[in-house]
Structure 1
Amino acid sequence: MTDELIIKSLSSLEDLQEVQRLEILVWGMDCIPTHQTLTAVKNGGLVLGGYINDELVGFQYSFPGFKEGRVFLCSHLLAIHPDHQKKGYGRLLKLAQKQVARKKGYDLIIWTYDPLESVNANLNIGKLKAVCSTYMEDCYGTMKGTLNEGLSTDRFMVEWNIHQESAEQASVPIGAAPIVSTAVNEQGFPFISTYQLETDADVVAIPIPTDIQKIKKDNLHLAMDWRLKTAELFKTYFAKGYVVVGVDREQGEHIQNYLLKKQE
């Protein structure tokens, strides 16, 4: 059982300075200036804070975006205090973001995340039912901080249509073709042994490790191998018209699968 999370929209300098402190703690890198977050909040963006017993334990920061005549909300940062992670608070902040965004007139939210981070995959694709067909190589260049150091900053760009009420109940495709074979090395870490870039299957499964941070810490070469091989797979299948639409976590202790469906 978790404590009740109280979520508020933040706009004062003091609140946004508190957000900065949590951002530094979680991400371990330079924080976003308050003059930026204040300006965003005053011009269509939002900062949501999640509180337990009046203590800030999580936040979400978004700002407006515009491309090809369409306005959307760019969801830039989501952070949960290390003492409160894996309690479902990230999902609650995203659902609150959805509500506030709809009131502001948005119908689409986009964001990026590292596709090798299984927890983020479970939230963004598995629970929120966002979709992805865009792979961005080294999106942010070299970044400091424990979470980003050591690997190129490749990212998925996901899209979340927040006016599809049935999205969270959408069924996960079944019968995915196993185009990738994995094994476990002497350290107990999974690795990709073989993979194929051609198939006629409507649904394919691409695995990721369940703990890329531990692999990166203990075997950086293997983590880089995961990055390179999954990058090739995602880019190839996205180019063929496949879209990430689900996550299959029933693959054992070491890996989970992204499920990609070919669009008509």
Structure 2
Amino acid sequence: MSEPITHPVAGPLAGPLAGVVADVLLADVPEAVIGEVIAELLPAEGPQALTDDSVEAVAAITELVEAATRQVFAPDPLADPVAALTSPTPTPQPTGPAAAAAARANVDIRPVDTHVDVAAAVSVLDGVFAPGAGNHFYPPSLLRNLLAAGAPVLLAWDGGAPVGVVLALPGWTANGQPLVQSGPLAVLPTARGRGVSAALKLAQRAWALDRGVTEIRWTFDAMAAVNANLNLRRLGATVEAFLPGYEGLRDADSPTPLPYDRLLVAWHLTGEPATPADDDTELVWAVAATDGLPVLDPAWTVAPAALVAVPTDISALRRNAPAAASAWQHAVGGVLQEALASGWRAGWDPRGAYRLTAPTH
């Protein structure tokens, strides 16, 4: 058995109860999130509802820790859910490209399967998508329901700290073939730039292949250069469609008045990944940057290939120059929508632009 933690627990249980928790909390439980989980399990009155009797307090906290570290109902969608809950089997560690990517990123990627893991996943999502918002981007109850549906929710750990998460749901294509519909992927700013996102996606790929699923789909912000580079160039996903205004109406206080456009991509897990050509023959910049604003060249429609520039950091532009961000979205979205509707293929060029290739007739 692991040695108990001897340092105090931070968060909602800091104070008189911290020592009690430290006495019963095992060292392999990340203390950064355990306090949040236990607080959620306490009565509405909070920690003060616990008795002052030390023996009873230890017993109560011990029970709470056990509940927090208990496995969430997370059946494999291709397995017996009752057996998965009552007799869980260890999840095999990813091998091949997934394991190599995790090693390069210096993270351990594991499925979410306890209440502590759920809290860790929520904390990462909040830190990326809702910092300081005062509410959860994905509440714990929603993640638990996703897990109950057999969803693969994968966490990247850097030692005892959660630094990345990717969500997905098992589903089916229009013709009834199984697929994985990938959802939000989040990596904390302190862990970026070392390949954690790619490691999470490759772990997701391994999960799908282990279950005979050969396609993963997801959407991403068409203006996000970092995401486009990861999805199209590094992973080799294929752009299927342009989805204007996919997220619906923006909030009234959004820095940009436009709904974000999305690209739908399909990641085919068998065969060779798509690799964009780097030939510059008759290449036209359909959208280029001049003094920070987009400039259109209508000649792209008769060229065999074209580049579509996007801002390096669209999030910063939306915060600091919303009018410019909207101009970029109009220009880039207009070209992508027209090109993809006409059968052009879209990839990502290392110069920081979409590369469009005209259809061959």
Q: TM-score, normalised by structure 1?
A: 0.86
How big is the shift at 1:259? Answer: 1.0
- Provide the secondary structure at the position in 1 that maps to 2:232: helix
User: Counterpart of 1:174?
Assistant: 279
How big is the shift at 1:143? Answer: 4.9
User: Counterpart of 1:261?
Assistant: 357
- Give percent identity, aligned residues only: 23
Equivalent residue for 1:37, pick from 138, 143, 154: 143
- Say what the alpha-carbon RMSD is for the aligned residues: 2.5
How big is the shift at 1:179? Answer: 4.1
Aligned-partner Cα distance in 2 for 1:80–1:63: 19
User: Counterpart of 1:14?
Assistant: 116
User: Counterpart of 2:348?
Assistant: 247
- Provide the secondary structure at the position in 1 that maps to 2:327: helix
User: Counterpart of 2:26?
Assistant: none
| CA gap 1:122/1:41 in 2 versus in 1, 3 angstroms | same
Equivalent residue for 2:159, pick from 53, 68, 73: 53
User: Counterpart of 2:182?
Assistant: 75
User: Counterpart of 1:253?
Assistant: none
Structure 1: runs of 5 or more not aligned? 251-255
| CA gap 1:194/1:140 in 2 versus in 1, 3 angstroms | closer
8 Å contact from structure 1 (residues 109, 159) kept in 2 = yes
What do residues 207-242 of structure 1 show as CA deviations (whole Å, max 9, x unaligned)? 111122222222211110000111110110011101
8 Å contact from structure 1 (residues 197, 233) kept in 2 = no
Q: TM-score, normalised by structure 2?
A: 0.64
| CA gap 1:181/1:238 in 2 versus in 1, 3 angstroms | closer
How big is the shift at 1:39? Answer: 3.3
How big is the shift at 1:66? Answer: 2.4
Aligned-partner Cα distance in 1 for 2:238–2:151: 22
Describe how 1:100-249 pairs up with structure 2 within 5 A: 100-143=207-250, 149-150=255-256, 151-164=258-271, 166-167=272-273, 170-175=275-280, 177-185=283-291, 189=292, 191-196=293-298, 199-244=301-346, 246-249=347-350
What do residues 107-127 of structure 1 show as CA deviations (whole Å, max 9, x unaligned)? 110111111111111111121
Q: Which amino acid aligns with 1:175?
A: D
What do residues 32-58 of structure 1 show as CA deviations (whole Å, max 9, x unaligned)? 233333333343420111011121000
Aligned-partner Cα distance in 1 for 2:243–2:164: 27
Which structure shows the bigger proportion of residues in helix conformation? 2
How big is the shift at 1:106? Answer: 1.1
8 Å contact from structure 2 (residues 284, 299) kept in 1 = no
What do residues 191-220 of structure 1 show as CA deviations (whole Å, max 9, x unaligned)? 222321763433222111112222222221
Structure 2: runs of 5 or more not aligned? 1-102
8 Å contact from structure 2 (residues 182, 217) kept in 1 = yes
